[in-house]
Amino acid sequence: MLKAKTSCLLLLIVMVFMSCQKKEEKRVDTLNLNFQEGDLPSLHPHGLMIYLRGISLSKNIYEGFTRIDEKGLPQLAGADSIDVTPDGLKYEIHLRENHWTDGSLVTARDYENGWKEALSPTSNCPRADLLYMIKNAEQAKKGLIESGSIGIQSLNDQTLLVELAHPSPHFLELLAQPICAPLADVKEKEPKKFNGPFQVAGWKHGDYLNLKKNPNYWDKDQIVLENINIYMVQDTMTAFTMFEKGQIDWVGVPLVPLPIEIISRLEEKKALKSHPVDRAFWVFLNTLSPPLSSPSIRQALNLSFDRKAITDHIFTGHPLKKPLPDALLSIEPAFEIEENLVLANQEFELGLEELNLTRETFPPLVITYSQQAGRKQVAEYLQQVWSKGLGIEVKLEPQEWNIFRVNLGTGNYQISGSFEAAFYKDPLELMQKFATLGPNNFPQWTNPEFIEIVNLARNEVDPDKRINLLADAEQILMEDVPFIPICSDEFIFSHHTDLKGYIFDCVGACDFSRAAF
Amino acid sequence: MGDRDFLMTTHFLIKKAFIFVISLTMVITLTFFLMHLIPGDPFMEEQMISEEILKAMHHDYGLDKPLIMQYFYYLKGLFHLDLGFSFKYQGRPVAQIISEAFPISFALGIQALLIALGGGLIGGSIASLYHRKWQDQAILAFLALCLSVPAFLSATLFQYLFAMQLDLFPVARWGSFSHTILPSLALALFPFAYLARLARTNIIEVLQQDYIVTARSKGLSQWEILYKHVLKNALLPVVAYLGPLIAAVFMGSFVIEKIFGIPGLGQWLVTSIGNRDYPLIMGLAIFYSFLLMGFNFLVDCVYYLLDPRIKKGESNG
């Protein structure tokens, strides 16, 4: 018996010794990332549009006509040159010579097919609406018109002609997004060919996604990295431990938002980095839900608290003094949003009169919030300030993300806050959601003056006139308050000390293709 | 006598199989309707999908048909052994997702079970030898500690101590043998302690029986007695516990898999519900039920074969 016991013990010791970790040297040609929010359902560029880590990934495996640089400006990438007519409606795009991973040439047809597939009424492209600035795109998606009438036409293998429905100064920025990527074969649900700086070397669902440098890429000499390994560890602390041990080189957005505990740990080590993004937190007010139908009541809610408390303690970023962050629309408004309890109470009294209510008969308001970081605290803060400042009773209701999202779109809520992000630096993109009724118009708001100005701006060619019209539209948003602007967003992250060369775009996705140690 | 045994066994088997089928059907039906009862939409993402696209997707997946029709449609698929395709991971068959992830969870579970069984029996035997001495109390205290530490705590502790601080094992993921050690130890902790206590109690009880006294008077050593006479009898309750044990290991594995970033079935189960990925939820629920009930069925058979008392009980009753 003793022999058996001893040999068991010896075996155990040997096993432990054998599996001991050897210190691994950091390979400078390999970037290790972690998709903490889980694996991506698909590598199809249309599907990647809805995940920040998906858009980041697509910048590595696909090459659109343009690519965003460090200054946030679109630079020519898949295109050699782009000619625009003076009315801003027609774009002639000349392709650069670039190849798919199987060696075949990337043609204008590949782009045309990809975009038309997104606009097909039977395809599942969730953000097809981003292409609606193209002539007849919206009608084609709704099945009202043949795809042949869409303003996308390949003149030959190397030239694509695009006709817009209305001028858009930011079309070139949109071209850098994955929705505008070319598709080698539209029938493939999972693309097998890639034309970007990297290609897929191996993908085990839920486990890892490995990329390796694409030898057929036109700009391959600029690419320093040889491999990008993407893990899928979903536990926050485990991923952070791997980061501290140097097993992954990046933690935080765009791959995953950082929780408070980790932010403070990183702050101590002075390893925290930040980057401004064109995202804003807006608290939507359902204008169809009494008593929020009165603009005065909404204004009262808007002016009765200090946003700095939120940006100091709950969210990162800066308080918003107007609906759109300065990065998107920098024209000074006529007045800024500031805490003013006197004015707020005046507006409140006006609203009460309008609705034939008194402070006693004013019904309690309900704030619904989702489970992400900070939402609960913001809701509690608003509950506090509105109760103290205006004497309004506020109830809070947590909701699971999926339910919360559906309710926002169907108008089944009273007050709900959410982040809104812009895909390109055009204030129109965020504002036009409120110009039509639909699932994107969360406040269910209709304002004829606003709708008119937005339509004028959409069709305005002169950039100065356009921006002034948009500033006027913003003014209406400030006066009518379909939503309460809280703060602009800032992305917080950390990475390996030697990593450089990564580029953020305005929606917050990160281009790692030109990164190096 | 042979014929009678055969009839009894067949009767036993048919009864168990019948219960199996009924239970599985109940699980399928309940899960299906409960799942559809939860508000939310499978196609809702951070970015808003336009109404027409959403309607088209609902139509594509048959979600605009009445619920009872969807149910029968799903059952029809099951008869053809078709679990359908995932909503979220479009184009990927549910069966494929499960068959890719299950071997990993299985390997983890088996390793943990073996550690728990081996460790539990050895531990219980050792404890029984020191019965009524201070070592017994010490062991019992240790086992009580193991029982009260929840899986996520033991997993995090092991990871922090042995992987983070001491660098002995990988922090997370799966691949080599050393990746499997910490997760299976963490997973085995509770069942090991439970089995050790169970074994100890049963061994002590058996040791007090008359035939043991006889064996001792014959001059057999304590270990020989343990091995020849005691273990077989003490094994029965352990076998009976195997069913719930396997269930506990399965359930515990979700947490362990998450903490160690292991690409097993656990992650799919958790994310599929949040995603409202109906076919995947159904596929996983059916798979797990099938597995658990199948295991319990096997355990029942083993128990039936091991214990002559049951067979006798059947024939008397």
- The more confidently predicted of residues B90 and A144 is A144
Q: How many CB pairs under 8 A join A and B?
A: 145
Residue A369, phi then psi, degrees to nearest 5: -140, 155
Q: Residue A170: how many CB atoms within 10 A of its CB?
A: 18
Q: How confident is the model at residue B151 (pLDDT cuts 50, 70, 90)?
A: confident
Provide the residue count of chain A: 517
Option in A21, A126, A235 nearest B49 (CB):
A126
Ranges A2-11, B92-101, B134-143, B156-165: which has the least confidence? A2-11
Question: Mean of the pLDDT values across residues B34-49?
Answer: 75
DSSP A252-319: ETTT-PPPHHHHHHHHHTT--EEEEEEEEEEEEE-TTSTTTTSHHHHHHHHHSS-THHHHHHT-SS-B
Q: How far apart are CA A47 and CA B87, in angstroms?
A: 13
Provide the shortest C-alpha distance from residue A343 to chain B (in Å).
Answer: 35
- Preceding peptide of A215 cis, ω within 30°: no
- The more confidently predicted of residues B315 and A365 is A365
Q: Residue A317: how many CB atoms within 10 A of its CB?
A: 23
DSSP B185-231: HHHHHHHHHHHHHHHHHHHHHHHTSHHHHHHHHTT--HHHHIIIIIH
Q: Do A128 and B176 touch (CB under 8 A)?
A: no
Residue type, A425: K
pLDDT at B311 over 60: no
pTM for the model = 0.84
Q: Do A19 and B181 touch (CB under 8 A)?
A: yes
Question: Mean of the pLDDT values across residues B210-214?
Answer: 75
Q: Per-residue confidence of chain A (517 residues) as pLDDT tens digits? A: 555 666 666 666 666 555 555 555 677 889 999 998 888 888 999 989 888 899 999 999 999 999 999 888 999 999 999 999 998 899 999 999 999 999 999 999 999 999 999 998 888 787 888 899 999 998 998 889 998 899 999 999 999 999 999 888 889 999 999 999 999 998 888 899 999 999 999 999 889 999 999 999 999 999 999 999 999 998 888 999 999 999 999 998 888 888 777 888 888 888 888 888 888 999 999 999 988 999 999 999 999 999 999 988 888 888 999 999 888 888 888 888 889 999 999 999 999 999 999 999 999 999 999 988 889 999 999 999 999 999 999 999 999 888 898 899 889 999 999 998 888 888 998 898 899 888 889 999 999 999 999 999 998 888 899 999 999 999 999 999 999 999 998 888 999 989 999 999 888 899 999 999 8
Enumerate domains of chain A plus CATH numbers. 27-46+51-59+194-275+492-511 (3.40.190.10), 62-180 (3.90.76.10), 277-491 (3.10.105.10)
- Is the CB of A207 inside 8 Å of chain B's CB atoms? yes
- Is the CB of A234 inside 8 Å of chain B's CB atoms? yes
- Choose the mutation target among A188, A205, A397, A423 for the interface with B, i.e. most B CBs under 10 Å: A205
Provide the residue count of chain B: 317
Distances (CA, A) of A108 to A136, A153, A417: 19, 8, 42
ipTM > 0.85 (yes/no) = no
| Residue listed under structure tokens 């993109």 | A429
- Is the CB of B66 inside 8 Å of chain A's CB atoms? no
Enumerate domains of chain B plus CATH numbers. 100-275 (1.10.3720.10)
Question: Mean of the pLDDT values across residues B183-198?
Answer: 92
Query: What integer pLDDT is reported at residue B297 of this predicted model?
Result: 81
- Is the CB of B93 inside 8 Å of chain A's CB atoms? no
- Is the CB of A398 inside 8 Å of chain B's CB atoms? no
